Amino acid sequence: SHCPAAAAPNSQAMAAAAMAPKLSASSSTAKELTTHPIVTGSSVLAVKFAGGVMMASDTLASYGSMARFPDVQRLRQVSDGVIIGASGEMSDFDFAMRLLDELRVESECAEDGAELDAGEVHHYLTRVMYNRRNKFNPLWNQLVVAGTKDGKPVLGVVDQIGTAFEADFTATGFGKHMAVPQMREHWRADMTEGEARELLEGCMRVLFYRDCRTINRMQIAKVTATGSVVSPAYSLDTEWSLKSFKKEASPEDGSW
């Protein structure tokens, strides 16, 4: 009963038990990766105007191709002077906002009178997104950060692989293809707040007509040196009687 051969089965059992937690942890980690975004938001648009930055998005979060959640706020305040908008996976956006809340609380606990500005938030998110990309576990978002720094408007963008830049106007999602051309044509550095809003609403109207992941319920956010505000959601006026939306009946190919 004390021979080496009798001890061998116990050694094998111990080795198997030691391996089991490692396999379980590895399998659970793999399930945490966002490889296929499920609940997603579409375009976010933003432009600088004289004295600040204005941002717009719809309130739809799609479950695959289903318009599942029509009242999701994708424009949120990080602080009184910083607004963030998000396209992509909404759960990852919630996680990013949780990180920003922790950063804000840590800054406030220092009690040094300093507040996070838009430049600092943009740089922080750039590091977060690039870090997660390098771990092959990205946050599946395109984030737009708007605010002011030293009294000047700041508009920054960062995507899921850490690509970051600042611009006078920008768009994410299908807006990069359908809204940016309009912005290039109509944007001016001395735009008034009313002109900026008119431009963004015009771009959102085109996206509603052409992007099947967009609805006509939208929000506008504004940030200036005196603070920020996110509007309640409202419905955008649309027009479906335009000639380009009609197809005349004919005996050959029918009609719409």
The gap from C-alpha 134 to its chain's centroid, in whole angstroms, comes to 19
**Spatial separation of the C-alpha atoms in residues 220 and 202, rounded to whole Å:** 13
- Provide the β-strand partners of residue 56: 45, 220
Residue 137 belongs to what H/E stretch?
none
Q: What are phi and psi of 206, to 5 degrees?
A: -65, -40
Of the listed 34, 40, 172, 224, which one is catalytic? 34
Judge contact between 58 and 218, C-beta under 8 A.
yes
Judge contact between 116 and 108, C-beta under 8 A.
no
- Provide the β-strand partners of residue 85: 75, 144
Which tokens belong to 179?
């809204």
Asked if 238 is an active-site residue, the reply is no
**Spatial separation of the C-alpha atoms in residues 215 and 68, rounded to whole Å:** 11
Which tokens belong to 80?
């009184």
**Spatial separation of the C-alpha atoms in residues 233 and 163, rounded to whole Å:** 30
Q: Which of 215, 205, 195 is nearest to 74 (CA)?
A: 215
Q: Which of 210, 193, 203, 211 is nearest to 236 (CA)?
A: 203
Question: Residue 150: exposed, middle, or buried by beta-carbon count in 10 A (0-12, 13-18, 19+)?
Answer: exposed
Kindly list the catalytic residues. 34
